[in-house]
Amino acid sequence: MNDMLLDELYETLANLNERRLDTITETIETTSDNGSQNDIAKMARLKAKQSEYRTFIAELSKAQRRADEAEQQEENAKESSSGIIHTLIKNHE
């Protein structure tokens, strides 16, 4: 997959999930809890969903870092092999 497209996909997913996390966090902060079973269950669901979004965003960030590191290693390997080939050619002449 094209690196630019992959970076754009990571960014889009991160932004989308951060907005959802913000919405859920705001809902948790503004929802009144009168102690009823329904309110307790609703808050538990919202907090679970909040935790899921936080986890997803963290995992997405890790995946993006790993992809960036792999891309950098690939570039370094190309530069290294290119340098070796250039040296071999120069020494052969």
- CB of 27 within 8 A of CB of 46? yes
pLDDT given at position 1: 54
Contacting residues for 71 by C-beta, under 8 A, at least 6 apart: 3
91 phi and psi, to 5 degrees?
-70, -25
Region 16-36: mean pLDDT is 93
Q: How many domains does the chain have?
A: 1
- Computed over every residue of the chain, the mean pLDDT equals 87
pLDDT exceeds 70 at position 20 = yes
Region 21-28: mean pLDDT is 96
pLDDT exceeds 80 at position 51 = yes
Which structural domain range is residue 72 located in? 3-92
Region 18-22: mean pLDDT is 97
Contacting residues for 85 by C-beta, under 8 A, at least 6 apart: none
